[in-house]
Amino acid sequence: MLRVERLPGRPEDGVEAVLLLVVPSDLGLLDEAVDCFVALCVEGGEPTPSTRFRLRSAIAEAVSNAIARGNESNPSKAVAVRAELRERHVRVSVSDEGLGFDPDTVPDPREPEARERPCGRGLLIIRHLADHVAFNTKGNTIWMTLPRW
């Protein structure tokens, strides 16, 4: 069973709480991890169905990419998921133990020459669902800002 750790936030910075979750590199744990994490992100409020969908889908894409691509499903590696809960939005980071990548080099899967490639769709979905997306320099951490309610 996965366990999410809830830490106090920094009210002076507008952060109500911080959630931490470590997910082993096993895609079989994805649904449980995402469902548990999203439930805690929206605890105490009532998100719209659209907001819940956006939050769940973006986190699921980021975690599955981190497991399958970043960690190459290596069971000795894990994915760290962190969320800063704010009044109206959530800032989520997903980090893997892989070598990283350059998100600017990922082809747009909507382009005819990239349609048959097995990469880029998850990142396209995340960029469409999140209000803001950023990566660290190494390319093994993604930050997503999503609505909370």
Per the confidence metrics, is the pTM higher than 0.75?
yes
What proportion of the chain, given as a percentage, has pLDDT over 90?
84
The string of pLDDT tens digits covering residues 114-137 is 667 767 778 999 999 999 999 999
Residue 136: both structure tokens together: 């660290």
Contact 141, 95 (CB under 8 A): yes
- The token duo for 77 is 């590696």
Domain map of the chain by residue range? 5-147
Specify the DSSP element, H or E, that contains 63.
Answer: helix 49-65
The string of pLDDT tens digits covering residues 107-117 is 777 777 766 77
DSSP state of 43: T
To which CATH superfamily is domain 5-147 assigned? Histidine kinase-like ATPase, C-terminal domain (3.30.565.10)
